[in-house]
Chain A
């Protein structure tokens, strides 16, 4: 029974719990057992909150026993939460030594909404340190492993959440996406992952990496599951002044409509610049086949050119490090986290510097230094200022593209999951994993990655981008593609 429960989708589990066919506690136990059975090999979790998950499950069951309706369409469903999102009294490390052992004094809005929805948070998942990376190899606690091939990366920075969902440790995961950190791991793990329109999900309690880019979003094995989760966490939050004051669109409805398979009238733009050199032929072939499938469903595809997209990578690797150099200044050994070298003689500045050198990993240090350079007097205009202008041009390319296309598509990432250790010594090679995802991040538009097949036995994701606030379009198209495959790609993952 437990094995069956862990193979179910979130929608199915919620229905079973609502119907009283299984208790939320049974669901929680089944998934906690699964974590215990396989996480020694997958290493998805940094902290498992067994007591918290069971208590939340008991509350769902008590509510049902009292005759009350479910708190949400996901009541009784377990979830893996990326460790960059604060959880009151539950360890939150952001994958860094500098926050080892830190217990947040409050819940993020995302956390609070999950709890209010009756979702059981099983634990906090592994990630590249402070969300900087594409493989979880920048985690201070060791990498996670891709359930499709344990010698390969699960992607990053939301690699832990992705590995957890792909290993059937949870049907749902929360990731965060700054330059592709939901979409790329989703693609290489055979999952659905969506980056909401910027401002669509509250950043209150999401430890900031790059504030103008960060977005929390859903990971699931099916499009419908991701849509249901997005509806739970999304929407305006007065505590986040960058959150959009508009209701969340009917995303689950869009997913269901898409699954009916009629895309007549949809104009699909295939982005020329998101392909070619550096892209594996198998990945491009799978993406092309996916576009052909969309056409069979009634869509009309044509090529669009977005010339500024070629500058998305350099622009991002100026903007994000600059913002991070500012955001990570708060880790100063004063109010929280690590303090090193405080011997009663050293002055504060020295203690700060020693602490930060001891507490941050190399990628974080590189980006802080790069950001400091790009923002410093004499260099600001040529680097950060120029990158901001490139950002405007990228937004303009999107705007022009929307005149002839309702959605834009590309591979979600140029390659299938690469091997652990393969790119750790070459930062630029690691950054290349973000080539496809960066433009949508910079422009703040919604983008989903949906499985579109295998290449050499490893998953490939198709990225579907839509205009700002049109997240429903992403879910609709993704659901249409998913329905043609007959079953979620993840069903083909080899057993662990």
Chain B
């Protein structure tokens, strides 16, 4: 999609479009309204342009950092211990039945 608007150059082509925002919202399981899409698309476009600045940094041979503490493979002894109280957990659930979480159906009727 061509970007005719003036503005900072964006790596990877045009800034984020309304359709892209709708797609991302679906991926993230967010049923955003039409109104929200309008507002978010504009705001995210601005934010994306700002965060895209990370691409200005020459970092070809820099290793990425995922976390600041130098910890790896933190293990605990393989011992069975108590779990959360089932009743307390299910009492806080949106719906519970027979000692389990009750969920809406997963498959469509047409399957």
Contact = CB atoms under 8 A, between A and B. Distances in A.
Interface of A: 102-106, 198-199, 212, 238, 241-242, 244, 308, 311, 313-315, 317-318, 325, 329, 332-339, 342, 344, 346-354, 356-357, 360, 362, 365-366, 368-370, 372-374, 376, 379, 382-383, 385-393, 395, 427-428, 442-445, 468
B103 interface: yes
Given A105-B91, A317-B50, A368-B30, 11 more contacts: A198-B68, A212-B66, A314-B54, A317-B47, A318-B54, A342-B95, A356-B31, A366-B44, A366-B47, A392-B65, A393-B57
B81 to A, nearest CB: 10
A10 B104 CA distance: 50
Contact of A342 (B51, B88, B91, B104): B104
A443 B30 CA distance: 32
B34 interface: no
Nearest to A443: B68
Contact of B67 (A242, A329, A369, A373): A242
Contacts of B64: 385, 388-389, 391-392
Given A348-B103, A356-B31, A366-B44, A105 B89 contact: yes
B54 to A, nearest CB: 4
Nearest to A344: B104
A313 B89 contact: no
Contact of B69 (A105, A198, A393): A198
B54 A383 contact: yes
B80 interface: no
A374 B94 CA distance: 31
Nearest to B16: A373
A493 B74 CA distance: 46
A325 B68 CA distance: 20
Contacts of A342: 94-95, 104
B104 A357 contact: no
A232 B44 CA distance: 41
B103 to A, nearest CB: 6
Size category, B interface:
35 or more
A369 B24 contact: yes
B71 interface: yes
20 contacts: A102-B92, A103-B91, A105-B89, A241-B71, A317-B51, A318-B54, A344-B104, A349-B29, A356-B28, A357-B32, A365-B40, A366-B47, A383-B54, A386-B55, A389-B62, A427-B43, A427-B46, A428-B47, A442-B68, A443-B68
A347 B55 contact: no
Q: Is the interface of B mostly helix, strand, loop or mixed?
A: loop
B32 A242 contact: no
Contacts of B31: 350, 353-354, 356-357
B84 interface: yes
A336 B11 contact: no
A382 B64 CA distance: 12
Nearest to B69: A199
A314 B104 contact: no
Nearest to B63: A392
Contacts of A374: 51
Contact of B94 (A333, A388, A393, A443): A333
A353 B68 contact: no
A346 B62 contact: no
Contacts of B4: none
Given A333-B94, A348-B103, A395-B65, A370 B46 contact: no
Interface string B91-111: 111110000010111111000
8 tightest CB-CB pairs across the interface, nearest first? A444-B68, A388-B64, A339-B94, A105-B88, A353-B31, A389-B59, A241-B74, A357-B31
